[in-house]
């Protein structure tokens, strides 16, 4: 999720891969939470009639959720490695070049 429209637009223009990973990660996360909620309501009814084998379906939303977390973390990692910096107070974006990042002591 982005703090402001300025941050979102700059990421979309400068780092489209990171933007799309974040976008699809959020969509997958939303659908996985929705599927989890539905399965928690429906699965007890189905297991009463079909047996406990149906409980394996709860793992699908869980795997989707963890995959979406991985996608969002990868998007943030791409921004961090590229030197993307967002200043919350001034609502401005700075991309620090590689040479300047190498000069900063760790």
Q: Look at 17-26, 27-36, 64-73, 90-99 and tell me which has the smallest mean pLDDT.
A: 90-99
Kindly report, residue by residue over 29-43, the tens digit of the pLDDT. 999 999 989 888 888
Kindly report, residue by residue over 1-56, the tens digit of the pLDDT. 777 888 888 888 889 999 999 999 999 999 999 998 988 888 888 777 777 777 77
Long-range interactions of 58-61: CB distance < 8 A, separation 24+: 60/35, 61/32, 61/33, 61/35, 61/36
pLDDT of residue 14: 87
């Amino acid at each position: 999720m982005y703090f402001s429209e300025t941050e979102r637009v700059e990421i979309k223009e400068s780092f489209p891969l990171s933007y799309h990973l974040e976008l699809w990660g959020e969509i997958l996360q939303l659908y996985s939470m929705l599927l989890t909620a539905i399965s928690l309501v429906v699965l007890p009814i189905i297991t009463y009639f079909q047996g406990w084998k149906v409980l394996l379906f709860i793992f699908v939303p869980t795997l989707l959720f963890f995959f979406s977390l991985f996608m969002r973390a990868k998007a943030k990692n791409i921004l961090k490695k590229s030197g993307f910096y967002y200043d919350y107070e001034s609502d401005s974006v700075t991309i620090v070049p590689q040479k300047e990042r190498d000069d900063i002591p760790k």
